[in-house]
A and B are shown apart, each in its own frame.
Chain A
């Protein structure tokens, strides 16, 4: 885990420093040479790359992700302080929504296999997978917010502001979860232990919820890491469209301004976040599936 993180930091650092020119080269702007010199000294950019690298690593150990260059004296840390809570709540709402609705949709589709509801659910899932989320977001804004005026168009604040972006952000993961749940559920329902449960005289609802659902949903947990990554990158797009002041917006602004310090800092932060998430998902899977627990105990 730490090796991966170190690798990311290193790749990021050297990629950023391999860009020709300095961050202070601005198109059309003739900056004063001494000013640039001072700035370079201030950020330590005049030192050899190896020294800069060590400096950067040192500051990372103290959880300092470095300054912003375009928005001096703003630092990456303060951007995270401001943006991350917003992104986190948006992402969590989207994730929870996607999980609950995806599992429900997939289960219903599997129970009504090849029925009308199944077709409907799967068409919805296909749309969710094939339509880019910026298109979904734009559609939602156009119809729900602009034409029907049901919800605010953009920005962040009340719970009403959260609905549309969370919805747009969750369509992709929701569709993936629904498809996976359906496929697993269909398979689980043909398993012998479902027949055993029926032979005990259990009610269909008990069979579905107690015996089938748990086993059908287990594989979804393994996918959770990828889904979190999906939501994270999705949030860049969604936050920009809805003008939400989250991490994604800072990151995208950083890209547009070629603010390498910000790109570097946020990338490292995101990577660390994702790696920790993946790790947590692994642990969670071990807790949920009794078979894994034994395996680890034995190993």
Chain B
């Protein structure tokens, strides 16, 4: 290889610092959000959830049909331009009922998750933060409760309290908070003993600072994931209760009740009676699961379900 002689001189000094940090600084939540937006499935799930929420909120304005109006002359009609998703055996518009059912189903799911979240965080947080004997006693109680098969308890409560929107939420959260409390407590315990909390404490940080800066942001990721997964399981549980006749009572309708009502009609060919509610239940489940998986990857990629 011919190398020109004139190059054998000291390399000219280059401008700029080679060790400059090129990437802009991101906060924890910015990084998490950035990571999440790159996950297409999770974003799709989020979009579906937002659409469903809009549907549930403004749904009744999207149709001129009433969800309670019976019209026996047009019972069990196929989907048409008038009745987009067909009608049921009492001639009620399935589309209107789906929209209304979205409210009920999502409300149940969100409320149950919210109550789980609040009770779970308080209970688990106290147990984990104070530790020692408090933790021992509180976790003993939770361990015992955890052994109880939760759907059986829900059924029992429903039988006792009678079917209804409020009772479903109460019954679901009466059992749902236990898992959340266990998880929050585990997170808090783990974080409390982590070295960066120790470092912060060594530097003289106050407990309030530690909770705000370290425990909360780090535990919250995992908790959000848990909440995301508990919404669809509440909706699923409601569908299950509807099947046992313990769901929402007419004329109100949740997707679970509608799917259950639609079950026998599938043999008679009225497929839309089952298809639409089942489709929306599945869609919601799918959306929350996709979002939850995405959040899981964002916040704690090591722990998979």
Contact = CB atoms under 8 A, between A and B. Distances in A.
Interface of A: 1, 3-4, 7-8, 11-12, 15-16, 18-19, 126-127, 129-132, 134-135, 138-139, 141-142, 146, 179-180, 183-184, 187, 229, 232-233, 236-237, 240-241, 252, 255-256, 258, 260, 263, 267, 270-271, 274-275, 278
B240 A237 contact: yes
Bin chain B's interface residue count: 35 or more
A87 B266 CA distance: 26
Given A126-B286, A130-B289, A233-B240, A255 B155 contact: yes
A278 B157 CA distance: 23
Given A255-B159, A263-B156, A135 B151 contact: no
B217 interface: no
Contacts of A187: 304
19 contacts: A12-B156, A127-B282, A131-B278, A132-B239, A132-B240, A134-B263, A139-B266, A141-B267, A180-B305, A229-B149, A229-B151, A232-B149, A240-B243, A252-B244, A255-B159, A255-B244, A256-B245, A271-B152, A274-B149
Nearest to B236: A132
A4 B147 contact: yes
A237 B155 CA distance: 13
Contact of B259 (A134, A142, A146, A274): A134
A275 B266 contact: no
Those 3 A-B pairs whose CB atoms lie nearest each other, nearest first: A130-B285, A4-B147, A183-B304
B149 A184 contact: no
B148 interface: yes
Contact of A126 (B144, B156, B256, B289): B289
A35 B245 CA distance: 30
**DSSP majority for the A interface?**
helix
A183 B305 contact: yes
A240 B256 CA distance: 16
B76 interface: no
Interface in B125-152: 144-145, 147-152
A132 to B, nearest CB: 5
B118 interface: no
Interface of B: 144-145, 147-153, 155-157, 159-160, 232, 236, 239-240, 243-246, 256, 259-260, 263, 266-267, 274, 278, 281-283, 285-286, 289, 304-305
Contacts of A135: 259, 274, 278, 282
B144 A11 contact: no
A255 B175 CA distance: 20
A221 to B, nearest CB: 15
A11 B174 CA distance: 13
Contacts of A184: 304
Among A138, A139, A260: residue with most chain B CB under 10 A: A138
Contacts of A233: 149, 151-152, 240
B71 to A, nearest CB: 26
Nearest to B269: A142
Nearest to B290: A126
A114 to B, nearest CB: 13
A138 B159 contact: no
Given A258-B159, A263-B156, A134 B243 contact: yes
Nearest to B146: A4
Nearest to A133: B240
B238 to A, nearest CB: 10
A271 B244 contact: no
Contacts of B304: 180, 183-184, 187
A15 B243 contact: no
A130 B245 CA distance: 21
A114 B56 CA distance: 36
B147 A275 contact: yes
A25 to B, nearest CB: 14
Nearest to A137: B263
B144 A4 contact: yes
A126 B287 CA distance: 11
Contacts of B155: 255, 267
A146 B304 CA distance: 40
A270 B152 contact: yes
A138 to B, nearest CB: 5
Nearest to B140: A3
A144 to B, nearest CB: 13
A127 B281 CA distance: 11
Given A184-B304, A236-B244, A256-B245, A15 B147 contact: no
B289 A278 contact: no
Given A187-B304, A229-B151, A130 B286 contact: yes
Contact of B266 (A1, A15, A142, A255): A142
Nearest to B144: A4
Contacts of A232: 149
Given A134-B263, A183-B305, A15 B152 contact: no
Contacts of A240: 243
B153 A11 contact: yes
Contacts of B151: 229, 233
